[in-house]
Amino acid sequence: MGYPFDEESAISEGQELDLAMLREDLIGELQAINQYEEHIAALEDEEAIRVLEHIRDDEKEHVAELTKLIQKLDPIQAKKFDKETM
């Protein structure tokens, strides 16, 4: 799906590369959350569970930070988040 070009939403080639890397980082954080969830469900040791829950929650914070940064750098993405906010 293409977007109409306008000066407001223009992204430089350097920004495109930055966004691509940030989106890969976001994918990594989401995968880490899923992995921690699986490990938490499988573990029996309460201390290990607490540590992994803490680490998982840190990853969730990273997801929020990356999402905000992506929105800041990509005006079209920001509009999509605004549009889809419940």
What range does the domain containing 50 cover?
14-81
Give domain status of residue 27, yes or no.
yes
Give domain status of residue 5, yes or no.
no
Give domain status of residue 49, yes or no.
yes
* Section 51-57 average pLDDT: 98
Tally of structural domains, the chain: 1
Give domain status of residue 4, yes or no.
no
Of the ranges 36-40, 72-76, 79-83, which one carries the lowest mean pLDDT score? 79-83
Give domain status of residue 6, yes or no.
no
CA distances from 82 to 21, 40, 65, 76, 79 (A): 23, 33, 16, 10, 5
Q: What is this structure's pTM?
A: 0.81
Query: For residue 28, how far is the Cα from the chain centroid?
Result: 8
Tokens of 29: 């954080």
Say whether pLDDT at 5 is over 80: no
